[in-house]
Amino acid sequence: MEKHDGREVAQTRAGDRGVLGDPWYDALASGWGELDGTGAPAPAVPPQAAPPERRAAAIYLEVQRSAAFQEVRSRYRRFAFPAAAAFFAWYLAYILAATTAPGLMGRPVAGAVNVAMLAGLGQFLSTFLLTWLYSRHARLRRDRAALELRWDTQEMTRVIEGGQR
Amino acid sequence: MTGNHQTLALLLFSVFVAVTLAITTWVSRNRHGSAEEFYAGGRLFSPMENGFAIAGDYMSAASFLGISGLIALFGYDGLLYSVGFLVAWLVVLLLVAELVRNCGRFTLADVIAARMRERPVRIAAGTSSVTVSVLYLVAQMVGAGSLVALLLGSTGGAVQEWTVVGVGGLMVIYVSLGGMRATTWIQIVKAVLLMGGAITLTVLVLVRFHGDFDQLLRTAAQRSGHGAAFLAPGLKYGGDWTARLDFISLGLALVLGTAGLPHILSRFYTVPTARAARRSVVWSIGLIGSFYLMTIVLGFGAAAIVGSDAVRGSNAAGNTAVPLLALDLGGGPDSTGGTVLFAVVAAVAFATILAVVAGITLASSASVAHDLYASLRRPHAKPRSEVAVARVAAAGIGVVAIALGLLARDLNVAFLVGLAFAVAASANLPVLLYSLFWRNFTTRGAVWAVYGGLVPALILVVLSPVVSGSETSLFPGVDFQFFPLENPGLVSIPLGFLAGWLGTVTSPEPPDEAKHAETEVRALTGAGAV
């Protein structure tokens, strides 16, 4: 019985999302967009029979499958992964061009400035730009939701740890 | 270089050493020796402070003197380094900094061990972290030795040896007495000094050319003797295909290695939250980016004002380009201005080296005490305080680095730095990215990823022309060279990723779903973060 608790919770979550009317889930499902701190959900406490670390694991699994967490994760990944791929491709193209096509890179553009200078400067500028875009995205679209999740998750695990003492 | 420069430079060195020792004493007063305090400086640095400290940790003398010198000698090809060193920070910002801050406590191994069987993973990640740190440390020590000998105008071996010993001794004192708090403040002071020095010289160069960058480039191209080719890639890496592949290999290692450097990762634990870690990376990208932009101006400025031939005549690797430029900008060798500027540049370079070695020593002593000692000590042995072990480890690493630094003193510094980056990118980055992002990653995959990157990287270096088979090799007399490239990154980085994947798919145990959930939730929300 004890060993299956976490998995059962997990499976019901995965299979049949939100239909159970679990207060934890509902609040998150409606709340991620307008996390205003009001009406914080009463944390769902898993069955008392399981040992604490099992129940903590169940909580993390549950949070991982919640819509709020999935939203935070996909917002992060939808920005970070394409951005990482794009700058890496742009950097690779730059060093490949520098090593294989020096003729193209040496073509003058204006005065002493040539294509290579502009490309190098472009690497600097794109790095600064991407840094600004990423931190702006994280600040506006991810930080608050992640913080809410953090407090909620810690509240749930604290209840368990507190109950044990 | 006359006696005046040297006296003033030595005076400024001493002032810096005195100030840093004072910082170390000051911050270590009334501190209880907890691990939190020693490894992470209490975790209460502000993003701006940590951003300066990261920049201080990252901008080594190899950047300040080496890259400017390469630009002064080879023009555009030196600039490729600047770009690689900066772009690397996007990997750190986008994929690593926040998640590592949330999941780990003190070291890289903490992040991986959070979802794996602890012992094998800690031993693997601890070993590779110490290897990377020692390689990087040796590079800095060798750089310190030749730099000080160079700046003091003495080419004798004795000065070089005593410098290596002295730098090693100082870094052990900083780290074992002051821990992360002292190390961080030393980095901050150093970053401010370095930025100040670079800004002063850059402004003076631009004033000399009346703010006309185009004029600066044209003069540089003309005085280099290469004409327009000086402003295009190819002078250094444009030879045969081996040279070109070698450069691509180096470029990959630079951009992927930064996120695997243990002393950079450990800096994120000195701030309270992931958000603060992100903001400190943004600060450091701003600082590092503007610094590397200035090295470009300084490099072309040295070519235009001092002349490539004069630079080459002073030091074949170009390391003295910036000091010579300072001498000229200050008004020439016999003027007060020239003397002062030269001494300031020398002192800044020295401060740079001291701060960087302190940061690396701290990170590697953390790996020894927190990962290796904790995993390898006999289970029933009397438990010692981890911090006490770390202090002893710092001294031990100091001794090893001094010994290796003396042995390797004729190796090229830029090569050693590139090697450290290549090993970091091969052994540390694959396992870190897999642990953070791959649901099915297993313990076996983690161990294989570390050793599958570390071992090939080291073997390929041993079989490369750096060690044997050419006139400039470590052992010119013998020839067991087999691998044509000097930098192993092009082969060993993919091997690290491949080994991690292979270990995972052949793993008999299923991935631990619950621990993956915990890692992912903690990484992205910060729940349960220390």
Cβ pair A99:B525 closer than 8 A: no
Distance CA B69, CA B73 (A): 6
- What residue type is A59 in one-letter code? I
Cβ pair A69:B524 closer than 8 A: yes
What number is the average pLDDT over the span A64-72? Answer: 91
Mutation target among A3, A113, A127 for the B interface, most CBs of B within 10 A: A127
Predicted local confidence at residue B205, as pLDDT:
95
* DSSP-assigned beta bridge partners for residue A108: A114
Distance CA B21, CA B169 (A): 12
The DSSP result for B413-452, as a single string, is HHHHHHHHHHHIIIIIHHHHHHHHH-TT--HHHHHHHHHH
Predicted local confidence at residue A15, as pLDDT:
37
Please report residues of B whose CB lies closer than 8 A to that of A105: 76, 232-233
Separation in Å, CA B259 to CA B18, B83, B437, B524: 33, 16, 15, 18
Instruction: Write the pLDDT tens digit of every residue in A36-66.
Output: 444 444 444 444 555 666 678 888 999 999 9
> Is residue B426 within 8 Å of residue B432, measured between CB atoms?
no
Q: Which residue has the higher pLDDT, A11 or A92?
A: A92
Cβ pair A153:B527 closer than 8 A: yes
Cβ pair B231:A154 closer than 8 A: no
Domain ranges of chain B: 3-20+39-371+386-412
Predicted local confidence at residue B224, as pLDDT:
86
CB-facing half-sphere around the CA of A122: CA atoms within 13 A: 13
Predicted local confidence at residue B471, as pLDDT:
72
Q: For residues B466-499, b (16+ Cβ closer than 10 Å) or e, as one string? A: bbbbeeebeeeeeeebebebbbbbbbbbebbbbb
Cβ pair B86:A130 closer than 8 A: no
* DSSP-assigned beta bridge partners for residue B475: B468
Model confidence pTM above 0.90: no
3-class DSSP state for residue A108?
A: strand
Distance CA B144, CA B338 (A): 23
Distance CA B66, CA B80 (A): 13
Predicted local confidence at residue A17, as pLDDT:
37
Give the N- to C-terminal CA distance of chain B in Å, as an integer. 53
Nearest to A123 among B87, B214, B248 (CB): B87
Cβ pair B94:A83 closer than 8 A: yes
- Which positions 131-160 of A are in contact with B (Cβ < 8 Å)? 131-132, 134-135, 138, 143, 146-147, 149-150, 153-154, 157
Nearest residue on chain B to A132, judged by CA atoms?
B282
Sign of CA dihedral B360, B351, B389, B43: negative
> Is residue B386 within 8 Å of residue B155, measured between CB atoms?
no
Distance CA B108, CA B265 (A): 7
Cβ pair B278:A57 closer than 8 A: no
Cβ pair A98:B514 closer than 8 A: no
Q: CA-based angle B495:B401:B118, to the nearest 5?
A: 50
Q: Does A96 touch chain B (CB under 8 A)?
A: yes
Nearest residue on chain A to B95, judged by CA atoms?
A80
* DSSP-assigned beta bridge partners for residue B468: B475
The DSSP result for B486-520, as a single string, is S--HHHHHHHHHHHHHHHHHT-SSPP-HHHHHHHH
What is the H or E stretch that residue A113 is in? strand A113-114
Cβ pair A147:B525 closer than 8 A: yes
Predicted local confidence at residue B44, as pLDDT:
86
Predicted local confidence at residue B382, as pLDDT:
64
Domain ranges of chain A: 2-70+150-164, 74-141
User: What tokens were used for A143?
Assistant: 């930080």
pLDDT below 50 — which residues of chain B?
1
Cβ pair A80:B237 closer than 8 A: no
Distance from the B27 Cα atom to the nearest Cα atom in chain A, whole angstroms: 32
Predicted local confidence at residue B484, as pLDDT:
87
Distance CA B486, CA B133 (A): 19
Cβ pair B83:A106 closer than 8 A: no
Distance from the A1 Cα atom to the nearest Cα atom in chain B, whole angstroms: 17
User: Is A92 a residue whose pLDDT tops 90?
Assistant: yes
Exposed (0-12), middle (13-18) or buried (19+): which is B121, by Cβ within 10 Å?
Answer: buried
Please report residues of A whose CB lies closer than 8 A to that of B217: 111-113, 117
B522: phi then psi, degrees, rounded to nearest 5: -65, -40
What value does the mean pLDDT of chain A take?
A: 74
From the candidate CATH numbers 3.40.190.10, 2.60.40.1120, 1.10.3720.10, 1.20.1730.10, the one assigned to the domain spanning B3-20+39-371+386-412: 1.20.1730.10
Please report residues of B whose CB lies closer than 8 A to that of A135: 93, 278-279, 282
3-state helix, strand, coil in chain B (%, to 5): 80, 0, 20
Predicted local confidence at residue A29, as pLDDT:
38
Q: Does A109 touch chain B (CB under 8 A)?
A: no
Nearest residue on chain B to A78, judged by CA atoms?
B94
Cβ pair A120:B83 closer than 8 A: yes
Predicted local confidence at residue B2, as pLDDT:
52
Predicted local confidence at residue B24, as pLDDT:
85
- Which positions 20-59 of A are in contact with B (Cβ < 8 Å)? 56-58
Distance CA B51, CA B282 (A): 7
Predicted local confidence at residue A43, as pLDDT:
45
- Which positions 57-76 of A are in contact with B (Cβ < 8 Å)? 57-58, 60-61, 63-64, 69, 72-73, 76
Cβ pair A154:B282 closer than 8 A: no
Q: How far is CA B140 from the centre of its chain?
A: 8
Nearest to A73 among B255, B524, B527 (CB): B524
* DSSP-assigned beta bridge partners for residue A114: A108
* DSSP-assigned beta bridge partners for residue B174: none
Predicted local confidence at residue B31, as pLDDT:
65
Q: How high is the ipTM of this complex?
A: 0.91
User: What tokens were used for A144?
Assistant: 């608050």
Instruction: Write the pLDDT tens digit of every residue in A96-133.
Output: 998 888 888 888 888 888 899 999 999 999 999 999 99
A and B: number of Cβ contacts within 8 A? 167
